[in-house]
Structure 1
């Protein structure tokens, strides 16, 4: 890169064993309509052909900068290396197995002058289920107070933790000393939280500008082990400590509590699902954190919202497997938990049903979301699993009865 070139945007791309996807990622970044960028690629000691691919692109385009860790350090450390090397006014993170639309940088940079970061929408490309899923962005275009944005996204269940879903002012990240916590998984959760707590204003763009790939051998889809579970707990404790050390208004306080509880539920449900009998210390450590009892909701052991979902499925797995046609009613987080548990037991679904599919996800784990009336031809043989909160049961059971669905399983 010529010495006189001063990049406006620093694109940070951590790279580790992604030879099958790296070219598509780099092509999408290099091909941006906005040119004034440095493209910082940090190889985390890949053992495949990733480094050679990077070198070929650096030879073709002087904006591509290659750094290499001395040993495999993980995603958080590698992103931090990129942050320290960056010289642009703005920061964009791109994962090396994903890709971005041509105008992402140009669109977001026009929105960032008066804010600390710009949040944008994304589309998921699921290679495991061979499906595409449009993320439903529930926030309208506009400029928001950052903490108010956090409250609204928590309340309407539309939080996007991912570092790659935002363009950041580098000055903001440096002044607030916001970095990724190393040595843990799911580092984006804390990074997102700190950005929301410390930023003044953010801009929101509903356009889908990022293509997020879900693949079998990624960090997010590998089989859960004890570290995955303990890291959820450590993240909950980190945010819990921040919560205890600061004062907030009532709305923000409740939103932070809900945010922590969501992370903690991930810890509990994974603990239950994989029955890590040899890692009982994890749960003992959690219960010992009495100063977080109010937030975690640890009152009488480990029974909790998501735990009840899994327990109910486990108790009725024989009935479910004997069914000819299994429908999951609902398309929210409870339905996701139900489907994940059913997948664990190799249960094949007929589909996912809702009363009205407008405003709902188009698919869940490769299962199309359809209105319940589209399954009328299966009503005599279907077992419908009610994957919604209890308060909706009377209304849904009445509707199912009117349509002739007489067999259902209540989760709560």
Structure 2
């Protein structure tokens, strides 16, 4: 049985999938399986994957009956995996060749490990790595409203833990699904390493054309996610942190879709920022009182 399954939800990524597959096949840690989930695109992405599968028995292709989107395709990949740990790779990106080796050496008895990435945009590379090391520091960062990436591709997760936390979420997403899944995975046995093991490529063509219809779908997704996390048994500080980002996005799309005026948009944003500042100051005060 392989130790790590790398899940690639695949839809119209013909120019890039070969590079992604190569980054999996050539991992320094070899005891892996590579699961390509065909989400019914109309290019030759899967034909390329099939050719690679003929040469490497670690590659398995799962075929969706219809287009289901990234969230469902990832979950289908997980359910068809045979490993103790799972990682996600978007096929227009690629992994560092030591990614699996480093992750497996560091995750140990934890449920989740988060690593950094190399972000490439307009041929310029920036390094984004976690500035924290464990759950305790995660909570401190949350209290200060520091940004912590919720991209699922920057994680290795225990398979059983992932299924336990995600199995009740049954919805098609086109926006912000990574945030909902990440929030669902937050637990005291999560750790962070600074190694940048993922190459995240920002392409102009990967940015969806924005219009009122898209904004409407984004708003539906964001409101659903806000409703979901309010029902979770989250600590108040964690709920406040993610609610802040969700609400700021909701206000932005309400304004862009002409559902609220610019003045109301600015007022709503200002209210959220005031509340955020209050929570930060309150957290600092409680810490000082506790230390005294």
Q: Does TM-score exceed 0.5, indicating one fold?
A: yes
Unaligned runs of 5+ in 2: 278-292
Name 2:148's counterpart in structure 1: 159
State the alpha-carbon separation in 2 of the partners of residues 106 and 50 from structure 1.
27
Instruction: State whether structure 2 residue 248 is matched by structure 1 residue 265.
Output: yes
From 130, 136, 159, give the equivalent of 1:137: 130
- Determine if the alignment matches structure 1 residue 227 to structure 2 residue 217: yes
**Largest Rg, 1 or 2:** 1
Distance in structure 1 (CA, Å) of the matches to 2:94 and 2:270 = 33
Q: Any conservation in 1 of the 2:36–2:61 contact (CA below 8 Å)?
A: yes
Judging changes above 3 Å, is the alpha-carbon distance between structure 1 residues 270 and 254 closer, same or farther for their aligned structure 2 residues?
A: same
Give the alignment's Cα RMSD to 1 decimal. Answer: 2.6
Gaps of 5+ in 1: 1-5, 281-299, 310-388, 390-412
SS at match of 2:198: strand
Distance of aligned partners of 1:154 and 1:181 in 2 relative to their CA distance in 1, 3 Å threshold: farther
Whole-angstrom distance in 2 between the partners of 1:120 and 1:23:
23
1:304 aligns with 2:292: no
Q: Name the CA shift for 1:150/1:191 in 2 (closer, same or farther; >3 Å).
A: farther
Say yes or no: does 1:149 pair with 2:138: yes
Shift, 1:148, TM fit: 5.6
Counterparts in 2 of 1:181 and 1:161: CA distance versus 1, 3 Å: farther
Residues 116 and 127 in structure 2, CA contact (< 8 A), matched pair in contact too: no
Q: Distance in 1 between matches of 2:249 and 2:55?
A: 44
SS in 1 for 2:200: strand
| TM-score (norm. length: structure 1) | 0.60
1:97 maps onto 2:92 in alignment: yes
How far apart, in 1, do the equivalents of 2:151 and 2:130 lie? Answer: 14
Helix, strand or coil at the partner of 2:73: helix
- CA apart distance, 1:181: 4.5
Whether the 8 Å contact between 1:79 and 1:180 is mirrored in structure 2 is no
> Number of residue pairs matched?
268
Secondary structure of residue in 2 paired with 1:133? strand
8 Å Cα contact 1:76/1:180 also seen in 2: no
Q: Is the 8 A contact 1:117 1:202 kept in 2?
A: yes
Map 1:340-359 onto structure 2 (within 5 A).
Answer: none
1:180 positional shift: 5.6
**Matched residues in 1 for 2:234 and 2:81: separation?**
33
Q: Deviation per CA, 1:238-264, whole angstroms, max 9, x where unpaired?
A: 11222xxx374xxxx133212112111
- After TM superposition, the score normalised by the length of structure 2 is 0.83
Q: Aligned pair in 2 of structure 1 residues 88, 12: CA closer, same or farther (>3 Å)?
A: same
Alignment of 1:231-246 (within 5 A): 231-242=221-232, 246=233
**Runs of at least 4 residues off by over 4 Å:** 177-181, 306-309
Larger deviation, residues 6-15 vs 209-218: 209-218
DSSP 3-state at the match of 2:107: coil
The aligned residue for residue 205 of structure 1 is: 193
* CA distance, structure 2, for counterparts of residue 51 and residue 120 of structure 1: 29
> Any residues of structure 2 matched to 1:116-135 within 5 Å, and which?
116-126=111-121, 129-135=122-128
Q: What do the CA deviations read for 1:192-234 (whole angstroms, capped 9, x no partner)?
A: 00100xx33112111111011112232x544252102221222
Q: Tell me which residue corresponds to 1:13.
A: 8
Indicate conservation of the 8 Å contact 1:29/1:100, yes or no: yes
- 1:9-408 alignment runs, 5 A limit: 9-126=4-121, 129-135=122-128, 137-139=130-132, 142=133, 144-145=134-135, 149-153=138-142, 155-178=144-167, 181-184=170-173, 185-196=175-186, 199-218=187-206, 221-223=208-210, 225=214, 226-242=216-232, 246=233, 248=235, 253-275=236-258, 302=265, 303-305=267-269
In the TM superposition, what whole-angstrom CA distance separates every residue of 1:143-172 from its partner, at most 9, and x where no partner exists? x23x76255256352311111111001122
Local SS of the residue matching 2:18: helix
Q: Greater shift after overlay, 54-63 or 170-179?
A: 170-179
Q: Distance in 1 between matches of 2:126 and 2:75?
A: 30
Does the aligned pair in 2 maintain the 1:21–1:96 contact within 8 Å? Answer: yes
Question: Using a 3 Å threshold, how does the CA distance of structure 1 residues 121 and 136 change in structure 2: closer, same or farther?
Answer: closer
- More helix by percentage: 2
